[in-house]
Amino acid sequence: MGERVLLVGSGGREHAIAWKLRQSAKVDEVFVAPGNAGTARLGTNVAVQPKDIDGLAKAARELRITFYLASMDDPQPLGLVDRLSAEGILCYGPTAAAAQLEASKAFSKEFMVRHGIRTAAARTFSEYGAARAYVESLQGRPLVVKASGLAAGKGAIVCANESQALEALDIIMLRRDFGSAGNTVLVEERLVGWETSCHAFCDGRTALMMPFASDHKRAQDGDIGLNTGGMGAYSPSERVSQALADEVRRDVVERTVAGMAAEGTPFAGTLFPGLMVTEAGAHVLEFNARFGDPETQVLMPRLESDLFEVCQAAAQGRLNEVRVSWSERPTVGVVMASGGYPATYKLGHLIEGTDGIDPDVHVFHAGTKDDTRGLVTNGGRVLTVVASGSTLAEARARAYDNVKRIHFTNAHYRTDIALRAVK
């Protein structure tokens, strides 16, 4: 009997992973909670929300799930992996204890200091007055103020001056825009450099690096506008040399895996450090304990190995037996979003043209659903259109050529995804 795999989430990331899992001869069926119209075409959507651990555990039992693949952040700190493992379901993902690497920036900062992993200097506060006094004592030094807990990628406020830093403390600690995620704040030195995303498969002892990818977080061309979940991505990252990749593997990823094991909370699952490369080398801005979105949409089409087999080996602690191969062909993914995202936007616009795209180009769904009219928008980020090419420039041109064939009212996408990399 083949595997019955559970994914939790409803992003382009989950659609891309579901698409890749369906290529595995070992996988019989893919279930996605709650999923979107794209995942419904590849498997079965399950009407349970990502933070409903009881509901997910119940669904896993009823659906006779044999494998859980963790892709998004929410369920792991709430203990979904611990829970499903106890019920005999093999899981690829961190336990609640290991997921603290992402769920608590205070924990991960202290962890990095304990293990000599390069990161921005920071201090942690749970009392507003003390945080304020500290910011004032720094006399206008460039800072980033962060809510310690999970804040849907929006909890870091980059500050240009002291008054902005004080305002950030107000937003997080007094106005409580991020709720209890802001019970503790980090006041962090602001680094200057360029960013890239690293992903690695981990099994508690061994880590296998994926290719590097770069995303574009701001809503508008030229990296202006509000921070979003990500407006597009490409892989490989043209600026990451082999020497830098080796440094990140050794000094960030392997040190993290060894440190977590030494502390009795081995890390299994996808480790995704967000990095800032400065003149002094790569610094960890944050750890994510999951796959990136939209990075995953540009990584899955490059993965030549069987994703299920790699994750299964990691879940069984035998990643050292596995080789993972990746296509040399670069990929570019452009996110099509609802006009207004990440602020307010309307739902329910008809999406047309997805049947007219090139056969080897992927349209990974995020905020979509099917209603009586057909496919309609149902979220901020709607689709990621991913193309490959013999060069990054060709992949980029093909992605945009296909984006232009898809239409919905007020569609918004950036026109400069991967542009700096092909210049």
Identity of the residue, 189 or 263, whose beta carbon is nearer to ligand AMP in the bound complex: 189
292 binds ligand GLY (CB under 6 A): yes
74 binds ligand GLY (CB under 6 A): no
CA distance 295 to 288: 12
Minimal distance in Å, beta carbon 338 to ligand AMP?
Answer: 22
**What is the amino acid identity at position 371?**
D
190 binds ligand AMP (CB under 6 A): yes
Minimal distance in Å, beta carbon 292 to ligand GLY?
Answer: 4
Identity of the residue, 235 or 288, whose beta carbon is nearer to ligand GLY in the bound complex: 288
232 binds ligand GLY (CB under 6 A): no
CA distance 122 to 242: 29
Give a three-class secondary structure readout of 183-243.
CCEEEEECCCCEEEECCEEEECCCEEECCCEEECCEEECCCEEEECCCCEEEECCCCCCHH
Contact present, 178 and 172 (Cβ < 8 Å): yes
Residue with tokens 């800072």: 143
Counting residues that bind ligand AMP (by CB under 6 A) gives 15
- Is the four-CA dihedral 241, 246, 251, 256 of positive or negative sign? positive
Identity of the residue, 230 or 367, whose beta carbon is nearer to ligand GLY in the bound complex: 230
- Is the four-CA dihedral 220, 224, 227, 232 of positive or negative sign? positive
> In the range 295-314, which residues lie near ligand GLY by CB under 6 A?
295
Q: Which of 35, 149, 153, 232 binds ligand GLY (CB under 6 A)?
A: 153
- Decide the pairing of beta strands 156-159 and 3-9: unpaired
Minimal distance in Å, beta carbon 384 to ligand GLY?
Answer: 11
Contact present, 8 and 74 (Cβ < 8 Å): yes
Which of the choices ligand GLY, ligand AMP, none does residue 120 contact, using the CB cut-off of 5 to 8 A by kind? ligand AMP
Minimal distance in Å, beta carbon 283 to ligand AMP?
Answer: 7
CA distance 143 to 157: 9
Point out the residue whose Cβ comes nearest to ligand AMP.
156
274 binds ligand AMP (CB under 6 A): yes
**What is the amino acid identity at position 194?**
W
Among 79-87, 162-170, 190-198, 350-358, which window interacts with ligand AMP (CB under 6 A)?
190-198
On the question of a cis peptide bond just before residue 75, with omega within 30 degrees of 0, the verdict is no
Identity of the residue, 66 or 384, whose beta carbon is nearer to ligand GLY in the bound complex: 384
Q: Which of 27, 101, 156, 248 binds ligand AMP (CB under 6 A)?
A: 156
Residues found near ligand AMP in the complex (CB under 6 A): 120, 144, 146, 153, 156, 158, 188, 190-191, 195, 217, 274, 276, 285-286
Which residues contact ligand GLY (rule: CB under 6 A)? 153, 215, 230, 288, 292-293, 295
